[in-house]
Amino acid sequence: MRRLIVPVLAALAVSGAAFGTAVAQDAGDEGGPKKPSMHDLYHNSSLPKSHADFSRYRYRPPGDKVIEQPDAFRLLFQTKDGQPDGYAERRGTSVFYYDRYGKLRQIQPLPEDATAG
């Protein structure tokens, strides 16, 4: 029995020491300067940013904050306290406006020259 216990305890001691070293290395990484996130890297990069012209989107809820999403040709509307209040997105030759529950509020047809871009 003793012959079985000694090797098992030795193996546990070696694996425990290796685990303790790995934990100590991870803890040492936290003390250094914080690495930038992917969002920080994107905003500070020289990659071309998407741009969309939202000047033809006529309706904006009064008092709401407007957040542009140029990749999706979409505007998000938020109330002053940050609650979602709907969105507007371009589909083909029209702009569709939705309320905070995702129901269609109105459709705005775009002139023919606006769809060329």
Q: What is the pLDDT of residues 52-65, one digit of tens each?
A: 778 888 998 889 99
- The single-letter DSSP state of residue 61 is -
Q: Is residue 87 domain-resident?
A: yes
Q: Which residue segment(s) compose the domain that 92 sits in?
A: 65-109
Q: Domain total for the chain?
A: 1
| Cα–Cα distance, 69 to 82 (Å, whole number) | 16
Q: Is residue 79 domain-resident?
A: yes
pTM score above 0.75: no
Q: Is residue 39 domain-resident?
A: no
Q: Is residue 78 domain-resident?
A: yes
Given a cut of 80, is residue 13 above it in pLDDT? no
Spatial CB neighbours of 117, under 8 Å, sequence gap ≥ 6: 53
